[in-house]
Amino acid sequence: MSIAYVSTCRFDAWSVLLRYIYIPWGEFMTNGDIDQQEAIRLRNQELEKLLAACALSDRKAFARLYSMTSAKLYGVVLRILNRDDLAQDCLQDAYIKVWNNAGNYRSQMAAPLTWMSAIVRNQALDLLRKRKREVMESNDNGLPEQIDGALLPLEGLTRTDDGKRLGNCLEQLKEQQRQVIALAYFKGLTHDELAAYTETPLGTIKTWIRRGLDQLRRCLES
C-alpha cells in the first residue's frame, strides 16, 4: 500500500457519486429531460444514503428504502413469476437479502435500483429454477407461470434514454435472437431449455445468443 497514493484521495465522498451520475449531454436536453435526470440523481443519492444506513442496521432507513423501491421491484418480480403468492414471498426474501448485504453495495458499480433489481431478478430466477426441479422430479410437464404470452416487455423500452437505446439495439437483432435473449433474461431458461422451447438445435441457440450479445454490445457502444 502506498501512503502517498492515499494522500491524493482528498474530496467529499458524495461528490464522487454526483460525478458518476452526471449526464454530460445536458445541453441537448429539454427542460423536462433535465428535470427528470435531476429527479433520478436526487433519488439515487437518497437511496445510496439509505443503503449505507441499512448497512449500519438502521431499520427506519430500511422502511424508507422499502417504501421508495418496493412497487418498482414488485413489478419486476411479478413480471418474472406471474403469480402473486410466489412474487410476494420472493419480494420478501429479496429485501431480507438487501438488508443483509447493504454493506456490499458499491456505488461505483451500479445505481442503487439497478443493484436491487439484480437481487430481485436473481431471487425470482432462483425460485423458478427450484420449481422447475420440483416439477421435473414429480414428472409433471406443466410449468404455467414460467412461460406465458406476456414475457417480452421489450416494446416498453421507451421511457428513458437508456431504454430507448437498448430497445433500438434489440430491434436490430433477428427476431429469434431477441426472443431467446428475453426468455433467458426474464425466465432463466438455459441453452437446453431454449433449444427445446423453440425447437431449435442447441448449437444454433448458442450461436444466436453469443452473436446476439456481441451485436448488442457493439450497438450500445457505438
Partner 1 sequence: MMPENEQQDSNTLAGEYVLGTLQGQDRIDFERRLDSDRQLQGEVDAWHQRFAPLLDDIEPVTPPKAVWDQIAHRIEPGQPTHEKSSGFWNSLSFWRNLGMVAATLVLALGMTLMTTRQQGMEIDSIMVVLNDQYRTGWLVGAHASEGFLNVKAVEPTELPKGKVCQLWMEDERGHLHPIGLLPHNGSQQMDLPNAMSTQNRFKVSVELMDLLPKDKPSNEIVFEGNLTEI
Question: By CB under 8 A, what part of segment 123-142 binds partner 1?
Answer: 123, 125-127, 129-130
Give the whole-angstrom CA distance, residue 76 versus residue 38. Answer: 24
Residue 200 C-alpha cell reads as 431449435
Of the candidate spans 22-30, 31-39, 112-120, 136-144, the one that interacts with partner 1 by CB under 8 A turns out to be: 112-120
Residue 101: which residues within 8 A CB-CB, separation 6 or more?
119
Give the whole-angstrom CA distance, residue 50 versus residue 125. Answer: 26
Of the candidate spans 6-14, 29-37, 140-148, 195-203, the one that interacts with partner 1 by CB under 8 A turns out to be: 6-14
Q: Which is nearer to partner 1, 130 or 174 (CB)?
A: 130
Give the whole-angstrom CA distance, residue 186 versus residue 199. Answer: 19
Encode 160-190: b = buried (16+ Cβ within 10 Å), e = exposed: eeeeeebeebbeebeeebbbbbbbbebbbbe
Binding mask 19-58 for partner 1 (x = CB under 8 A): ---------------------------x--xx-xx-xxxx
Closest separation between CB of residue 146 and partner 1, Å? 13
Number of chain positions touching partner 1 (CB under 8 A) = 97
Closest separation between CB of residue 140 and partner 1, Å? 20
Name which position in 185, 197, 198, 200 contacts partner 1 (CB under 8 A): 185
Does 159 bind partner 1 (CB under 8 A)? Our answer is yes
Residue 61: which residues within 8 A CB-CB, separation 6 or more?
49, 50, 53, 54
